[in-house]
Structure 1
């Protein structure tokens, strides 16, 4: 029997997403969002204050990288389930998120029944992987097929690529991932070289064409 959930924290900088999920879960008998946070810092301040049953965490936040927020949450509350709820490509970010301690990874485009399944699965103590990602993992799509240029990027380079594609300035990216502007510039140069492009506009086009973010 699914346990009654009273303490769900949603961390997302889009009010429409937070409001939509709150309304959606209000129609269930066992799920309720009782607190919201727009930034990673706000979320981290809320974690110690209540006995949360679940954190729904976006990967793209205005102050901190979602993976960094996840790591800090798990340091504070190792047993607290965190379900990533993001527009970022699960093919690129699901495994890193699971490795960092997430209990599951869910794309925001998922149908309502899948959202409910993911939340209930994670709260019951199991890990959730979407059917599409499970199929990719089982089919071994990464085994012998040639790598696309973006698949040669490191995890940190991929994070920087997605932030650059959103038009975020180098200083803000540095603050978000806790490195200097010079280091961000180095990452950018490597990304341009690996992808074979020469400008941020081309980076953005690449991200859109490959549906990375």
Structure 2
């Protein structure tokens, strides 16, 4: 990757993980037309994706879920644990609620269908690279519906151990900077965790997250 000049925004480094070469070539051709994006590696299995991430350290992995050797959900889970600075954007043919939920629990930052338009894919990549979370309209409704129907209690088990730690500190009133210092994380990583927490809890503000955390017994200090 060429170093950016002064004042220039670094490119978003993308890894494509899909077991269909034609899909990877199509995505690579698409991203080549978009400013500020660079495909740094491709992988045909989840295991290859993990290896390439270790070598190339992309900002975003565009991940298919049904892949040989190591499926996309398990690969996403390992990426979230081993490379928390890398965001996973699922791009798949499948929109079953269980797959969406599994991908979320594994740490995916976004979930799009392969029928998504070019501008939707571009927005999603930029959103997850910036620490946000995004879903296609085809899956957003079912995901939020499951959260609303389930109440508060079922949402917390969907959080990873690290996300629970972050939510616990949010509930004490800690700032992002204080959370980063306490957990030994970068501010960007903390922001990524908070975006994931908001998505999984179905909230849009820190205040709403604190209410749910308090109801679940988090944020208590002697």
TM-score tier, shorter chain, comes to 0.5 to 0.7
Q: Are positions 1:94 and 2:100 aligned together?
A: yes
Over 3 Å counting, the alpha-carbon distance change for 1:83 and 1:137 in structure 2 is: closer
| Match in the other structure for 1:84 | 90
Structure 2 counterpart SS, 1:32: strand
Which residue number in structure 2 is paired with residue 75 of structure 1?
Answer: 81
Q: Provide the TM-score with structure 1 as the length reference.
A: 0.61
Give unmatched runs, 5+ long, in structure 2.
1-7, 151-222
1:141 Cα offset (Å) = 9.9
Q: Deviations over 1:34-54 (max 9, x none)?
A: 210111111111222223111
Match of 1:10 in 2: 16
Q: Report matched runs for 1:51-200 at 5 Å.
A: 51-138=57-144, 143=149
How far apart, CA to CA, are the structure 1 residues paired with 2:12 and 2:140? 30
CA 1:47–1:116 in 2, change beyond 3 Å: closer, same or farther? Answer: same
Judged with a 3 Å threshold, the aligned counterparts in structure 2 of structure 1 residues 28 and 138 are, in CA distance, closer, same or farther, namely same
Give 3-state SS (helix, strand or coil) of 1:34's partner. strand
> Do the aligned partners of residues 135 and 33 (structure 1) sit closer, same or farther apart at CA in structure 2, a change above 3 Å counting?
same
Single out whichever of 84-93 and 70-79 deviates more from structure 2. 84-93
Give TM-score, length-normalised by structure 2: 0.58
Q: What is the alpha-carbon root mean square deviation over aligned residues? A: 2.3
Q: Which residue of 2 aligns with 1:148?
A: none
Equivalent residues in 2 for 1:41-52, closer than 5 Å = 41-52=47-58
Unaligned runs of 5+ in 1: 145-213
Q: Distance in 2 between matches of 1:90 and 1:113?
A: 23
Question: 1:142-197 CA deviation, whole Å, 9 max, x = no partner?
Answer: 949xxxxxxxxxxxxxxxxxxxxxxxxxxxxxxxxxxxxxxxxxxxxxxxxxxxxx
43-52 vs 77-86, which moves further: 43-52
Between stretches 111-120 and 83-92, larger displacement belongs to: 83-92
Q: Residues 90 and 107 of structure 1 are in contact (CA less than 8 Å); yes or no, is this contact kept in structure 2?
A: no
Structure 1 residue corresponding to 2:33, chosen from 27, 35, 59: 27
- What is the deviation of 1:136? 3.3
Distance 1:105 1:116 in 2: 13
- Relative to structure 1, the CA distance from residue 67 to residue 139 in structure 2 (aligned partners, 3 Å threshold; closer, same or farther) is closer
